[in-house]
C-alpha cells in the first residue's frame, strides 16, 4: 500500500508496516515483510543504521575482544618470545579496528534497505495513535507515518540505578566503556552476567587487575553446572577476583580512583568502575500510553508467543521484550513477527532451542537442556565428553583448554543438550544444532559415531564425545 496524504501542513506517508529500530530485530522484520510485498518504513534514532548492536554493543565489543585475543596470542607465542618480540598496545589502539568493522557493517546493512525499497527515517519515533507514529527528525521537522501494523524493535541500554554517578570520568557502563582512552591498572566490574564476564576476561587479558562482583551465588546460572565450574576455575586461574553474593551500598568516585562499598562491609578500590548489572528497554519516548500499552519497571514490553503486544497489530521483538536478549534471537523474532502480521506461515521460525554464545575467554556456547533440568524432569540421560587437550587440532593450535559435552537419552540416544567451553565454541555448537533439529530417528548420538569428520579438526570433538557417551551405556 503506497500513498501520501496531505493534512494541513503535515505530510502523512502511508505504509503497510512501520518498524521502529534497525538493529537485528528491526532488520529481520523489515526484510521479511518487504520480501512478501509489503511497503515498509523503518525509523532509527541514531544517525546511522544498525542500532545498538552495530554501534555500541555486539560488533564493537567483539571486535575489541578479537584484537585483544590476537595481541595475547602474539605475546604468549614461544617463537616470538625466543626472538625477543613483544607487542604493547593501549586500549585506544585496540579499539581502532572496531571503527572499520562498524563502517563495513553500516554500509552493508544500508544496502539491504536500499535494494529492497525500504524507506529509512532517522529520528525519534512516538506513537500518535493506534494507526500512526510521529518521527521527530534531526532538523526538528516532524514526519507522520501511517501504517496498518507496527514492529517495535527499539532495543535496550545499560540499566543506570540512582545513586551511581555515571557522569564521573572513572565510572562507565557497557556503552561508555568503549570510549575508554587508556588501559586502567585496575578495574571493578559490578555485575557478573554475560556482559560483565565478557569484559572481565577481556581486561584481564590486557593485564588489568580485576574485581568481578556477582550479586548472585554463582556465575551465569542458566548454564550447565559443569560449564559454570570450568569458567569460574579459568577466570580465577588468570587472576580475576570473583566476589559472589555481594550487593553495593554506595559507590564513591574520587579524583584518582573509585571505591565500591559493599553491604557486607568490604571496600573495593580500583582505577575505574564498569557497571554491568542489567539493561533497560528503550521505551520511555515511544508514546506507548497512546496505544494502550505499558512497559514494565525495566522498560520491557510484554508479548505473547507470536510477539504481539496487548495491542494486536503492534508487535515487539528483540531486547525490548527481555530475555534472551541475543542478536541472533532478535533477528529470527523479527522475521517471525513479519510473517505473522502478514498472515504467512511462520511455524518454521518457532524457536524451541536457541544457541547461547558467550564470548568470554575461553568461549562458551550452549544449546538445549542442562543436566540440572534433565535431572529435575527425571529424564534418563547419559553424558559424553571430549576434552580439547586430547584433540590433535587443539594441540596444533595451542588451545588445549576446553571441552565438548553431549547430553543424550539413554534409551533413544536422542541429543538433549550440547555444551561447549573453549576456543571456537560458538562455531562448534552449530554442528550439533543441525543434528538436534532433525526429526527422529536422525537426531541421535549415532550420527556422530557413524560420520567421517575431517582430521585434524575441532569438529572431531563430536565423534570423541559420542564414543565416550556410548562407553557409559
Residue tagged 562455531 (cell numbers): 427
- Give per-residue pLDDT as tens, 198-226: 999 999 999 999 999 999 999 999 999 99
The pLDDT of residue 294 is above 70: yes
Which residue has 550479586 as its cell numbers?
215
- Alpha carbon distances (Å) from 463 to 314, 345, 422, 431: 46, 37, 17, 11
Q: Are 74 and 44 in contact (CB under 8 A)?
A: no
Domain residue ranges of the chain, discontinuous segments joined by +: 4-60+94-158+280-349, 171-277, 362-470
Q: Is it the case that residue 3 has pLDDT exceeding 50?
A: no
Task: Please list the alpha-helical segments (H only) found in 40-156.
Answer: 51-55, 58-76, 78-82, 91-115
pTM (predicted TM-score): 0.91
Bigger pLDDT: 7 vs 72: 72
Fold category of 362-470 in CATH: Enolase-like; domain 1 (3.30.390)
Asked whether the domain spanning 362-470 has the same topology as the one spanning 4-60+94-158+280-349, the reply is: no
Q: Does the pLDDT of residue 73 top 50, yes or no?
A: yes
How far apart, in whole angstroms, are the C-alpha atoms of residue 405 and residue 429? 10
pLDDT at 10: 58
Per-residue pLDDT at 136 exceeds 80: yes
What pLDDT is recorded for position 30? 97
Q: Is the pLDDT of residue 177 over 80?
A: yes
Cβ neighbours for 107, distance < 8 A, ≥ 6 positions apart: none
Q: Is the pLDDT of residue 123 over 80?
A: yes
Residue 5 — very low, low, confident or very high, per pLDDT cuts 50/70/90?
Answer: very low
What percent of the chain has pLDDT above 90?
78
What is the fold, at CATH topology level, of the domain defined by 171-277? FAD/NAD(P)-binding domain (3.50.50)
Q: Which residues contact 54 (CB under 8 A, 6 or more apart)?
A: 23, 48, 102, 105, 106, 109
Superfamily of domain 4-60+94-158+280-349: FAD/NAD(P)-binding domain (3.50.50.60)
Residue 67 CB partners (closer than 8 Å, separation 6+): 89, 94, 95, 97, 98
Which residues sit opposite 357 in a β-bridge?
Answer: 365
Average pLDDT over residues 82-86: 78
- Where is average pLDDT lowest: 6-10, 107-111, 258-262, 450-454? 6-10
Amino acid at each position: 500500500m503506497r500513498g501520501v496524504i496531505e493534512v494541513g501542513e503535515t505530510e502523512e506517508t502511508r505504509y503497510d508496516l512501520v518498524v521502529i529500530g534497525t538493529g537485528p530485530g528491526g532488520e529481520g522484520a523489515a526484510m521479511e515483510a518487504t520480501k512478501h510485498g509489503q511497503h515498509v518504513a523503518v525509523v532509527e534514532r541514531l544517525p546511522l543504521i544498525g542500532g545498538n548492536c552495530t554501534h555500541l554493543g555486539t560488533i564493537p565489543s567483539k571486535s575489541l575482544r578479537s584484537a585483544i585475543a590476537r595481541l595475547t596470542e602474539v605475546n604468549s607465542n614461544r617463537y616470538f618470545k625466543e626472538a625477543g618480540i613483544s607487542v604493547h598496545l593501549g586500549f585506544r589502539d585496540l579499539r581502532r579496528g572496531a571503527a572499520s568493522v562498524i563502517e563495513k557493517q553500516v554500509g552493508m546493512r544500508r544496502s539491504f534497505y536500499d535494494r529492497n525499497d525500504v524507506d529509512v527515517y532517522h529520528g525519534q519515533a512516538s506513537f500518535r495513535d493506534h494507526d500512526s507514529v510521529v518521527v521527530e527528525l534531526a532538523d526538528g521537522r516532524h514526519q507522520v507515518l501511517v501504517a496498518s501494523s507496527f514492529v517495535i524493535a527499539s532495543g535496550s541500554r545499560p540499566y543506570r540505578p540512582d545513586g551511581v554517578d555515571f557522569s564521573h570520568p572513572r565510572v562507565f557502563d557497557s556503552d561508555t566503556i568503549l570510549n575508554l582512552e587508556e588501559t586502567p591498572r585496575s578495574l571493578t566490574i559490578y555485575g557478573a552476567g554475560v556482559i560483565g564476564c565478557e569484559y572481565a576476561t577481556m581486561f584481564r587479558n590486557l593485564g588489568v587487575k580485576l574485581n568481578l562482583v556477582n550479586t548472585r551465588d554463582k556465575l551465569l546460572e542458566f548454564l550447565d553446572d559443569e560449564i559454570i565450574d570450568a569458567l569460574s576455575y579459568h577466570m580465577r586461574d588468570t587472576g580475576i577476583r570473583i566476589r559472589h553474593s555481594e550487593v553495593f551500598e554506595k559507590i564513591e568516585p574520587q579524583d584518582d580512583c573509585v571505591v565500591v562499598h559493599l553491604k557486607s562491609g568490604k571496600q573495593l578500590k580500583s582505577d575505574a568502575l564498569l557497571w554491568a548489572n542489567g539493561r533497560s528497554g528503550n521505551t520511555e519516548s515511544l508514546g506507548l500510553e497512546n496505544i494502550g500499552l505499558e512497559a514494565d519497571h525495566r522498560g520491557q514490553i510484554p508479548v505473547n508467543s507470536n510477539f504481539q503486544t496487548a495491542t494486536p497489530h503492534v508487535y515487539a521483538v528483540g531486547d525490548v521484550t527481555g530475555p534472551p536478549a541475543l542478536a541472533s534471537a532478535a533477528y529470527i523474532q523479527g522475521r517471525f513477527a513479519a510473517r505473522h502480521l502478514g498472515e504467512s506461515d511462520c511455524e518454521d521460525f518457532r524457536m524451541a532451542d536457541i544457541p547461547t554464545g558467550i564470548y568470554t575467554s575461553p568461549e562458551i556456547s550452549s544449546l538445549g537442556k542442562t543436566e540440572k533440568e534433565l535431572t529435575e524432569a527425571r529424564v534418563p540421560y547419559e553424558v559424553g565428553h571430549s576434552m580439547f587437550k586430547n584433540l590433535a587440532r587443539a594441540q596444533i593450535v595451542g588451545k588445549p583448554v576446553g571441552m565438548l559435552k553431549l547430553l543424550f537419552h539413554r534409551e533413544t540416544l536422542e541429543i538433549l543438550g550440547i555444551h561447549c567451553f573453549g576456543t571456537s565454541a560458538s562455531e562448534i555448537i552449530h554442528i550439533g544444532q543441525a543434528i538436534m533439529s532433525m526429526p527422529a530417528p536422525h537426531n541421535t548420538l549415532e550420527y556422530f559415531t557413524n560420520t567421517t569428520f575431517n582430521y585434524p579438526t575441532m569438529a572431531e570433538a563430536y565423534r570423541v564425545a559420542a564414543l565416550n557417551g556410548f562407553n557409559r551405556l
